[in-house]
Amino acid sequence: MANEKFYLTTAIAYASSKPHMGNTYEIIMSDAVARFRRQTGYDVYFCTGTDEHGQKIENRAKDAGLSPQEYVDGVAGVIRGVWDCMGSSYDRFIRTTEPGHVRAVQKIFRRFYEKGDIYKGHYEGWYCTPCESFFTNTQIVDGKCPDCGAPVTQAREEAYFFKMSAYADRLIKYIEDHPGFIQPESRKNEMMNNFLKVGLQDLCVSRTSFKWGIPVDFDDKHVVYVWLDALTNYITAIGYDPDKSYEEQSEQFRRLWPADVHIIGKDILRFHTIYWPIFLMALDLPLPKKVFGHPWFNFGADKMSKSKGNVVYADELAESFGRDGVRYYALADMPYANDGSVTYQNVLNRYNQDLANNLGNLVSRTHAMTKKYFDGIVPTPAGEEGPDADLKATAEKAKKASFDLMNDYHIADALEAIFTLFGRANKYIDETTPWILAKDESNRARLGTVLYNLLEAVRFGAVLLTPFIPDTAENIFRQLGTDKTGYRTTDVFGALESGKPLGEAKTLFARIDEAKFLAEIEAKRKAAEENAPKQVAEPAHEAEIKIDRFGEIELRSAQILTCEPIPKAKKLYRIEVDLGYERRQIVSGIAKFYKPEDLIGKKVIVVANLAPATLCGVESKGMLLASGEEDVRVIFLDPATPNGERIH
């Protein structure tokens, strides 16, 4: 097992916004798996990163007044900051805007095209912007995306398509021949029955309706579809060169590929278990050994959503519970196949009961009794009595169970197995009553054995905990004053060296006052609610008009040349505008809201084909566009807008 490679990836996070607790679970889980594999002797390469192209990002950047690259630079930094806050030990953080990745994707696209796997056509159907995904009539649900629930829109555009159907039978056979390829089992059945066996449609792999993507280098109207771009990160991150055969690739690539596991959310399983394997087949590359589709963390019973206002962020939770408190909750509370549930009450209960009461109290009591009865020196055990054997057997069972469960990605069950050891150790204290043994000097040898067994149980458990809550494990080792921290030290119960002094005692997890904590959360929620923009009541609407009717209104850009009050008309200004092809006089009722100097020189929108009218004896030939009724706000244009340009 020593030095055997293990290549693990997460799905790369979409760089549209800060990841919430549901998104962050994936990096925490993947990090625990990576640390466990390193601990048990593997040469691990752990890859994560950010997916930075697509229409959604282009739109977000525009709304923020930034270029798309500026926008993703900022969000990628936020994502990496959250990953680091959670103690993620990744070896590679790839960004899909990296020049090397961009070049490789362009070569892959061209290779598919020249091979005949890609052809040009037109796409017409339903499109979900948040998911960057296309759907058929049978896939959408009540006019909404089947993956995220957002409304879908009709889209028609020129596009290149990948001939998925040419590889479908080969993929079906591969999945049937490799039963562990898609996990959990229920996810495999979903992919086979809902997509592959009903007939796989060709996939749109380019877009022309937006620009923020990797350009197709032989057809500059097109950018590469974000999913083809994103999925290839798993090979470009480790140096894949599309111009070379597998045998000609770099030593790193040949050593690491195929990936041992892709850890992803269940919502993107289709892309990773159907499209990605087919792309790899077309590149003549081996398929990954396993794709694990983990469930979601919901907030209570609802999926986390910013629009619902129920988003919880891992780094903010860490302010109250610490990094390991958040990691422990995420790993201990997420079921293997079903969705988990995050509430502040749940996190608090796990923290107080499991970490503060069970683990923290055990370490504190054991350290304190050793300090009190043996001056902080690890005692020497002398024989075995009563519950000693059962404590040791529990430790050995915890190791075997957690090892097997981690290898099968049953993360929460592995943690539960480890915590049975701490529960048994706490019971062992009640059974052996060290404080009573300490009253009689004749019991000193037995007291030393009891405390040694407790210290060793704590050490043994800390070794097993290292992949899950590494900071806590390291803290325990320091308190025990031991360097027996490697996984092989749990081959036998008893590796802790007698005669050595303990380190300084330190509280692992201070119990949190439940009532006070929940009251603070509620106060923050109310404050956020009060500071949130107030919902505007839906106004009365005019009767609907058709597009041809709207087209009758001629809106043009103009520049305000002069602006002066109209005598005896406090609300009105006489304004002269330059439409480029003519100058025109307009009377506007905005004197209450603007001074003339605020308007002169500004570019505005004018209704240019409005019939002339006379107001307070002054002729008006047009109207300025403005919003509001109680407070009127003129709509100003970019100063660079040419005069007379038609506004659509």
Amino acid code (one letter) for 414? A
The model's pLDDT over 66-117, given as tens digits with 9 standing for 90+, comes to: 999 999 999 999 999 999 999 999 999 999 999 999 999 999 999 999 999 9
In order of their start, the domains of the chain are 343-490 (1.10.730.10), 547-647 (2.40.50.140)
204, containing H or E segment = strand 203-204
Among the residue ranges 199-213, 231-245, 567-581, the one predicted with the least confidence is 567-581
The model's pLDDT over 250-296, given as tens digits with 9 standing for 90+, comes to: 999 999 999 999 999 999 999 999 999 999 999 999 999 999 999 88
Place 1 in a pLDDT band, splitting at 50, 70 and 90: very low
pLDDT score for 538: 57
Q: What is the DSSP string of 57-121?
A: HHHHHHHHTS-HHHHHHHHHHHHHHHHHHTT---SEEEETTSHHHHHHHHHHHHHHHHHTSEEEE
pTM surpassing 0.85?
A: no
Residues 355 and 509 sit within 8 Å (Cβ to Cβ): yes
The model's pLDDT over 517-530, given as tens digits with 9 standing for 90+, comes to: 999 988 988 887 78
Residue 7 pairs in a beta bridge with: 45
Place 547 in a pLDDT band, splitting at 50, 70 and 90: low
Q: 3-class SS at 374?
A: helix
Cα–Cα distance, 500 to 107 (Å, whole number) = 61
587, containing H or E segment = strand 583-588
Burial grade of 59 (CB within 10 A; 0-12, 13-18, 19 or more): middle
